[in-house]
Amino acid sequence: MSENGSEQTGGELIGGRYRLGERLGQGGMGVVRRATDELLGRPVAVKTLALDSGADPGGALREARVVAQIRHPHVIVVHDVVEHDGLPALVMELVDGGSLADRLAAGEVLTPREAARLGLDLLDALSAAHARDVLHRDVKPANVLLEKDTGRAVLTDFGIASLPGATTLSRTGVFIGTPEYTAPERMQGGDAGPASDLWSLGALLCAAATGTSPFRRDSIGAVLHAIVYEEIRPSERMGPLVPVVRGLLERDPDRRLGAAEARRMLAACAAGEPPPVSSYTPTARETVPSAAPGRSARTPGTTTAGDPGAGRRSGRAVPIVAAAVAVCVAVATVAVLRAVQGDPATGAPAAGPGSTSAASTPGRNAPATTPAPASAESDPEAYEYREVTDVRGFTVTVPYGARRSTDGERVIYTTGDGAVRVGIRIRPVPSGGAIGVMRASDASGPTDYPGYRDATVEETTHKGLPAARWEFGWNGFTPAEGARHTVDVCWEQDGTLYDLWASAPVPRAEEGRSALDTALDSFRTTGG
């Protein structure tokens, strides 16, 4: 073993000059090792293919040729291609430092200004590739190396890079890329251009500033659903990065933030300056990409960019082989199409795999009673309510027909018209307690909520327990969403902080308050 615990390879000499050393990393197709170029006396990195990986031997030569076209300080340099065990091996510059993925796995995240500087480096690297008509197609934290002495970011692994117009599936039926960092147009099998790499950069910036991808889910179907369908909202942790991330994660590639504007916005964030005025206008929140022209649906699901649901990381390649896998892909596709086009039986949007309906499995989210929806003669702004038992271990009363979604930390119930949202978050009581949480949220309000205004924070009680209440107005995340009013109440109980909030359009603020009061009065932990 080496001093850092890495496995030694025995000092094998390949290509007549490269002495292999310790293993630096390993992927599905092979390993990367530290090595010494004995002819020039310099350290290098050698990427060798695994004999049983099924990798195309021509892929290494292709990667070398692609990278050779792009001479840029933030793109990995390939020095040589030699033979190892009958397969080509790439000899590359050694970037002495781990990957961004390593840093995130260690529990470290970047500040918004650090993430902005990283984004500028990667944006320049991608622009250099795009100028040569090269798409990277796998921009993710594992493919970003961080040089420990200089902080230089280096984009690596162009193994699946392509020219624009390349198909999403390879000839062997293997998905190309990493699903949770893949743009929706590629997920839907459409044409991909430079804008697809910019989407991946937006997802990477979320991960850099918060610790994980905004689209991480437990299954490929759920990842697909989140990317193509669920509403995307910026995480409060990203601060001044929010505008540029929002623009990069625009689902319509023709309207997505371009490289020039992204560079201006990232440069301002890196310098600690206010974001410049952008020509980018977000797509209306209710509109999502459709598999059929002219079809759209309201979006009850929510993906908070940078605060995703928990789950295992999806792998780089997803083989589509055997009948069972084909069935899974078909089911996921049908779920997405239903989510986009709406449930034909009811005319309402379908919940889909990543956004479980509140009226799903009996005993889990099923209502204790099933009241009829409000009639046409009743107040159009009045809601009927029903009690649901959530899989997170609580029971609460929410508006009838509300759909359940989650971003990992919070459970959100959204009314069928998409207007009113009720959220629940449960966590250990942090330092400062309920009032400390609300005061901190208020302090970051101008950064987290566009047009933040008229805020009040007060210490109170809830059912005799220490509590705090935070109320404010803001502009909404998109012009189509419009001005909103939010009320948030959290309380401490047996070392746990329970946080319930409701958000509604300003003209319907009373509906939001009523929904929150109903949820607060009815909320109890399962069995409580």
Tokens representing residue 464 in the block: 């005799």
Tokens representing residue 307 in the block: 């605060």
Reduced to 3 states, what is the DSSP secondary structure of residue 20?
strand
Angle between helices 194-210 and 259-270 (to 10 degrees): 20
Can you give the three-state secondary structure of 115-173, one letter per residue? Answer: HHHHHHHHHHHHHHHHHCCCECCCCCHHHEEECCCCCCEEECCCCCCECCCCCCECCCC
Catalytic residue among 37, 121, 124, 138: 138
193: Cβ contacts below 8 Å, ≥ 6 apart:
135, 164, 253
Spatial distance between the Cα atoms of 22 and 44, rounded to a whole number of angstroms:
11
Instruction: For tokens 């690297």, name the residue.
Output: 125
Count CA atoms within 13 Å of residue 38 on its CB side. 11
CB atoms within 10 A of CB 129: 23
* Strand 394-399 to 385-390 pairing: antiparallel
Length of the chain: 528
Q: Is 138 a catalytic residue?
A: yes
Reduced to 3 states, what is the DSSP secondary structure of residue 502?
strand
* Strand 496-505 to 421-428 pairing: antiparallel
Count CA atoms within 13 Å of residue 434 on its CB side. 27
Reduced to 3 states, what is the DSSP secondary structure of residue 332?
helix
How open is the CA angle 381-384-387, to the nearest 5 degrees? 140
Spatial distance between the Cα atoms of 416 and 434, rounded to a whole number of angstroms:
31
Beta bridge partners of 302: 231
Give 22-52 as a DSSP string. Answer: EEEEE-SSEEEEEEEETTTTEEEEEEEE-TT
Please check whether residue 353 is in contact with residue 221, taking contact to mean a CB–CB distance below 8 angstroms: yes
CB atoms within 10 A of CB 114: 14
Please check whether residue 45 is in contact with residue 34, taking contact to mean a CB–CB distance below 8 angstroms: yes
Tokens representing residue 493 in the block: 């109980």
Please check whether residue 153 is in contact with residue 141, taking contact to mean a CB–CB distance below 8 angstroms: no
Please check whether residue 180 is in contact with residue 203, taking contact to mean a CB–CB distance below 8 angstroms: yes
Tell me the residue type at 41.
Answer: G
Instruction: For tokens 């009690």, name the residue.
Output: 387
Spatial distance between the Cα atoms of 377 and 362, rounded to a whole number of angstroms:
31
Please check whether residue 21 is in contact with residue 1, taking contact to mean a CB–CB distance below 8 angstroms: no
Residues serving a catalytic function are: 138
